[in-house]
């Protein structure tokens, strides 16, 4: 078992199982954890003060001697101060001195309970700590296989169920930060985001109010619409998961409403394409979408491929789309791999059906010829058609490395 599997087994796997349990037990617990006061020692472990008496939270307005600004003195100032001091313990999270995976789990659970009860900054600190733990190779020595962590699953399920609202609050913090200040997630691994984008997200519609769901949708939509190269790797690597979140978080629309939204030119192209890709084919019948889809194809929008697969296309529609695809290739906005997906979305998997499109692309010259020659390499039938490959090599100017690959694929000496 490698370290990546071990680490995910400890946190990601437990988190996913725990969040699935929330679907069955939402609202089962009214537990309110004790208030927390968090501090970080620079260069040292994370420290959290836990006030163990939830009925007597620490009062930041207290004056020395037990009085509160603007209030009468306490009847028992000395006794209360002493009790608070005795009831306060400092919890630190680190992997120093741990000997078993149970130690790791217990420390993390105690620390997570404190941070979940805090505000946005506590949520983000916990999120970064989760990332550090899941990516720590030192954990590998504690886990040989899944049996070593099986007994931890139920305690984590119970922990998550008892804090369902706090976990959703943390999730909103993460999504809002990703939308408004993604740079804060620099260096976070994409697996850590998946605890929320693939785990908690599926349960959200059953937990939150319509208003909170709409906020989460808006945050997710903003992240999805941000170019991936403008996002930290971990967040950018979760854009597909966030698109699924948007699908999960939208209830079914009446056909007339759905058609209206798809045709709404004021709606972002990404949202219109998502609606098309998720729509029933019968809803799309009779809708003139070729103009919109061809514009997105020539612009190199990768999401158009999924939408094309849902639309019934005539021969004239395909001809328009083919020219848009070629324009995207000429503008270096569509790759050979995207073209391969395009052929499948337009139902041209077989060589006789795709040949005319490939030959038209080869005739364009320059980068387009090289891209379509590469497309041949991705297609089993044309790359093994020795006569066709010889014709291509004799007719078009193709980059040496691509030509060599074509010869090798076709068995040409």
pLDDT, residue 92, reads 62
Does residue 49 sit in helix, strand or coil? strand
In whole angstroms, give the CA distance from residue 247 to residue 243: 7
pLDDT at 56: 34
For CA atoms 318, 320, 321, 327, the dihedral sign is: positive
Residue 91, SS3 per DSSP: strand
Q: What is the pLDDT of residue 249?
A: 86
The torsion angle over the Cα atoms of residues 135, 138, 139 and 140, rounded to 10 degrees, is: 100
- Predicted confidence at residue 352, as pLDDT, reads 92
List the pLDDT tens digit at each of the 413 positions of the chain: 444 444 444 444 445 444 444 433 333 333 333 333 333 332 334 433 333 333 333 333 333 333 333 333 343 433 333 333 344 454 567 778 888 888 888 888 889 999 999 899 999 999 998 888 777 776 777 777 777 778 888 888 888 888 888 988 999 999 999 999 999 999 999 888 988 888 888 888 888 888 888 899 999 989 988 888 899 999 999 988 998 888 888 777 789 999 999 999 998 898 899 889 888 899 999 999 999 999 999 999 988 998 999 999 999 999 999 999 999 999 999 999 999 999 999 999 899 999 999 999 999 999 999 999 999 999 989 999 999 999 999 999 999 999 999 999 999 98
* CB environment 20-49: b (16+ within 10 A), e (fewer): ebbeeebeeeeeeebbbbbeeeeeeebbbb
Q: What is the DSSP code string of 175-221?
A: HHHHHH-GGGGTT--HHHHHIIIIIGGGGGGGTS-HHHHHHHHHHHH
303, 311 Cβ separation under 8 angstroms = no
User: Coil, helix or strand for 11?
Assistant: coil
Give every CB contact of residue 394 below 8 A, 6+ residues apart in sequence. Answer: none
3-class secondary-structure state, position 387: helix
The first and second tokens of residue 198, run together, are 């693939």
Q: 3-class secondary structure for 280-321?
A: CHHHHCCCCCHHHHHHHHHCCCCCHHHHHCCCCCCHHHHHHH
The pLDDT value recorded for residue 136 is 72
Give the single-character DSSP code of 72. Answer: P
Contact between residue 103 and residue 148 where contact means Cβ atoms under 8 Å apart: no
* Amino acid 91: pLDDT: 54
**CA triplet 243, 247, 252: central angle to 5 degrees?**
160
Rounded distance between C-alpha atoms, residue 130 and residue 114, angstroms: 14
374 is written with which tokens?
A: 């590469």
- Closest listed residue to residue 218, CA positions, set 276, 265, 244, 179: 179
Encode burial over 137-161: b for 16+ CB neighbours within 10 A, e otherwise.
Answer: eebeebbeeeebbeebbeebbebbb
pTM as predicted: 0.51
Burial of 238 (0-12, 13-18, 19+ CB in 10 A): buried
Closest alpha carbon to 217 in 165, 175, 181 = 175
- Torsion 170-182-272-260 (CA) sign: positive
Q: Give residue 26's pLDDT.
A: 35
First to last CA, the chain: 45
96: how many CB neighbours lie within 10 A of its CB?
8
The three-point CA angle 384-387-393 to 5° equals 95
Q: How far, in Å, CA of 308 to CA of 79, rounded?
A: 73
């Amino acid at each position: 078992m490698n370290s990546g599997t071990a680490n995910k087994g400890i946190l990601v796997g437990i988190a996913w199982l725990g969040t699935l349990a929330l679907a069955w037990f939402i609202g089962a617990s009214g537990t309110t954890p004790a208030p927390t006061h968090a501090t970080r020692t620079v260069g040292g472990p994370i420290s959290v003060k836990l006030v163990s008496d939830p009925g007597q939270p620490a009062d930041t307005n207290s004056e020395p001697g037990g009085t509160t600004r603007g209030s009468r003195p306490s009847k028992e100032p000395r006794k209360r101060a002493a009790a608070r001091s005795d009831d306060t313990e400092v919890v630190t999270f680190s992997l120093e001195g741990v000997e078993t995976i149970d130690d790791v789990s217990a420390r993390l659970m105690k620390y997570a309970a404190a941070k979940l009860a805090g505000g946005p900054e506590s949520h983000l600190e916990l999120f970064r700590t989760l990332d550090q733990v899941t990516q720590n190779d030192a954990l590998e020595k504690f886990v040989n296989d899944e049996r070593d962590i099986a007994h931890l699953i139920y305690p984590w399920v119970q922990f998550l169920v008892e804090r369902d609202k706090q976990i959703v609050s943390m999730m909103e913090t993460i999504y809002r930060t990703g939308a408004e200040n993604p740079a804060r997630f620099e260096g976070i691994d994409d697996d850590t985001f998946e605890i929320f984008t693939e785990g908690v997200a599926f349960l959200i519609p059953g937990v939150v109010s319509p208003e909170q769901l709409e906020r989460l949708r808006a945050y997710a939509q903003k992240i999805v619409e941000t170019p991936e190269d403008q996002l930290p790797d971990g967040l950018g690597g979760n854009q597909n998961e966030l698109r699924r979140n948007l699908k999960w978080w939208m209830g079914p629309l009446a056909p007339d409403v759905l058609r209206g939204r798809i045709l709404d030119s004021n709606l972002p192209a990404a949202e219109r394409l998502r609606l098309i890709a998720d729509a029933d084919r019968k809803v799309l019948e009779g809708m003139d979408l070729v103009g919109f889809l061809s514009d997105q194809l020539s612009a190199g929008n990768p999401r158009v491929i999924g939408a094309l697969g849902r639309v019934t296309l005539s021969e004239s529609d395909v001809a328009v789309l083919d020219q848009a695809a070629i324009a995207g290739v000429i503008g270096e906005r569509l790759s050979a791999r995207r073209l391969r997906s395009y052929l499948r979305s337009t139902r041209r998997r077989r060589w006789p059906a795709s040949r005319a499109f490939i030959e038209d692309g080869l005739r364009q010259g320059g980068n387009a010829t090289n891209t379509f020659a590469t497309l041949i390499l991705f297609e089993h039938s044309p790359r093994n058609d020795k006569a066709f490959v010889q014709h291509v090599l004799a007719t078009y100017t193709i980059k040496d490395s691509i030509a060599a690959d074509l010869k090798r694929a076709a068995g040409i000496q």
